[in-house]
Amino acid sequence: DSGVTQTPKHLITATGQRVTLRCSPRSGDLSVYWYQQSLDQGLQFLIQYYNGEERAKGNILERFSAQQFPDLHSELNLSSLELGDSALYFCASSVDPSGGLGGTYEQYFGPGTRLTVT
């Protein structure tokens, strides 16, 4: 158990709909990361938040957005869903000082949310 929790575990929804995935980081971790893993794309970085602020952005679609709340939990919102959005969505957290430079600061991954769009 990494200490990172994600809900829900599974989500089945229809095209065009909107869903919200939730993540609670390990106690004390200020950074939260979101990743998408599909069969043909591998693990793709979407976005990072550090202490409520957006820190880094990857290949995140405009239909997707995220935020980190004062209690440090994070939500990933996916809208206008398409069949191709079906994937495993992982959240990870790490200890990460302001610059993130040097040190291991390994990311601990949650169990993931499996999203199926039909």
List contacts with other proteins (CB under 8 A). Answer: 2, 31, 33, 42-45, 48, 50, 55-56, 58, 88, 90, 94, 96, 99-102, 104-112
Q: Measured between alpha carbons, how far is 51 from 73 in angstroms, rounded to an integer?
A: 10
Instruction: Give least dist CB 85 to other proteins, A.
Output: 18
Nearer to other proteins, 17 or 65 (CB): 65
- Cβ–Cβ under 8 Å, residues 101 and 115: no
Beta pairing partners, 92: 33, 109
- Cβ–Cβ under 8 Å, residues 4 and 27: no
Instruction: Give least dist CB 21 to other proteins, A.
Output: 14
Nearer to other proteins, 70 or 99 (CB): 99
- Cβ–Cβ under 8 Å, residues 34 and 91: yes
Instruction: Give least dist CB 99 to other proteins, A.
Output: 7
